[in-house]
Amino acid sequence: MFALLRLHFMQGLFHPVCFAMSFSLLASNSYAGDDHDHSSPHIEMAQSQQPEEHDHDEQNHDEHSEDEHGHEDGGHSDSVIIDAHTAKQSGIITAKAHSGTIAKTHRVFGKVANDPSQISHIGARFDGTIIQVNASVGDTVKKGMKLARIESNQSLHPYYVNAPFDGIIIERHANPGELTQDQPLFTLFNDNILWAEFKIFPNQMLAVKQGQDVIIDNEVFRIAHIIPNTSGGPYELARVRLDNHDHGWRAGVTVKGDVVTQSKTVALRIPNQAMQQVEGNTVVFIKQGDEYTASPITLGLQDHQFSEVLTGLSKDDEYVVKNSYLIKADLEKAGAEHVH
């Protein structure tokens, strides 16, 4: 075609109509060539690449799901990350797993009572007239303190009434000018020593004995003696001496205790407060760095304070012993967010 145009020009015979027809024919052939040479290969390539791009998208979606949730099946993780500062602020405390004693106990109930030897009704040695009184109700006195001055009726000489031990004046029946007569002038009380008196019923009498340990408020005490009940009830009294120098106990308060009747040393022992229920499993949270993982455990012997661990925890594993419920809550929150 180009040769024909060139021939027309060379011969001077070119006419506008001929040029238009020639150009139209050239353009038609050119577009036809483009459709054949370029358009078809481009479509085939797109069609052949489309399944690969779809597979790539599915793979990216699967990888994203696995990275986000930690499981290909979409399940949520069994661990949480808590930095050291947050754990400290939350009161999360850990310990190393080790051996210990599991005790078989009997739960008993009773009341706190005063020590009879620490209550004194102080009177005058000789009848006379009260000249001076130095103590009143509520006063704390020391052993040997002069509580009152008395003038004897026989010798007419004064003498002093002294405190027999440290304590608090809880009653006073002495005023200057009064006669002593046959009555206590003061009642002195010391609560540094108190007694827990537990009722031991017939079904417990064969197991509970003098000298056994008693756990009261996580502290270990010992049964000093067992005495008959003089009030007529069907029980005996197991008496436990309480050191009350910090004045944490009060007479008349109801108290419960666990009498240790048998004990066994086990390879792994954890406090009961360390355990939580997660998805129907009993777990402890094992700490590795800042990661806390819920580990299902199998239990053996148990008492009111501790449990033996048979599987799921190893010696010297660091696990949460206090405020583990906070980690459980965090784990459940993460699971709920995953569902929604």
Q: What is the DSSP string of 213-255?
A: EEEETTEEEEEEEEEE-SSS-S-EEEEEEEE-TT----TT-EE
User: How many CA atoms lie within 13 Å of 185's alpha carbon, on the beta-carbon side?
Assistant: 31
Query: 104-114+192-263: which CATH topology?
Result: Elongation Factor Tu (Ef-tu); domain 3 (2.40.30)
Q: CATH for 116-189, among 3.60.60.10, 3.40.50.2300, 1.10.10.10, 2.40.50.100?
A: 2.40.50.100
Distance CA 312, CA 126 (A): 76
Of 146, 148, 137, which Cα lies nearest the Cα of 178? 148
Give the per-residue pLDDT at 47. 35
Query: Exposure pattern of 172-197 as b/e (b: 16+ CB <10 Å)?
Result: bebeeeeebeeebbbbbbbbeebbbb
DSSP label of 76: P
CA angle, residues 129, 132, 133, in degrees to nearest 5: 110
Euclidean distance between CA atoms 260 and 20, whole angstroms: 117
Look up residue 320 and give its two tokens. 């949460």
Q: Specify the pLDDT at position 66.
A: 41
What pLDDT is attached to residue 24? 40
Identity of the amino acid at 3: A
Give, for all 340 residues of the chain, the pLDDT tens digit: 444 444 343 444 344 433 344 434 333 343 333 444 443 333 333 333 444 444 445 454 444 444 433 333 444 468 899 999 999 999 999 999 999 999 888 999 999 999 999 999 999 999 999 999 999 999 999 999 999 999 999 999 999 999 999 999 999 999 999 999 888 999 999 999 999 999 999 999 999 999 999 999 989 999 999 999 888 889 999 999 999 988 889 999 999 999 999 889 999 999 999 999 998 999 999 999 999 999 999 999 888 789 999 999 999 999 999 999 999 998 888 766 655 5
| Per-residue tokens: 130 | 């009260």
Q: How high is the pLDDT of residue 112?
A: 96
Return the C-alpha torsion angle 251, 253, 254, 257, nearest 10.
-60
Q: What angle do CA 51, 57, 60 make, to 5 degrees?
A: 140
Domain ranges of the chain: 79-100+265-339, 104-114+192-263, 116-189
Q: Would you give the DSSP letter of residue 39?
A: I
Fold classification of 79-100+265-339 is 2.40.420
Angle at 86 between CA 80 and CA 91, to 5 degrees: 100
Taking CA atoms, 179 is separated from 101, 150, 172, in Å, by 63, 9, 14
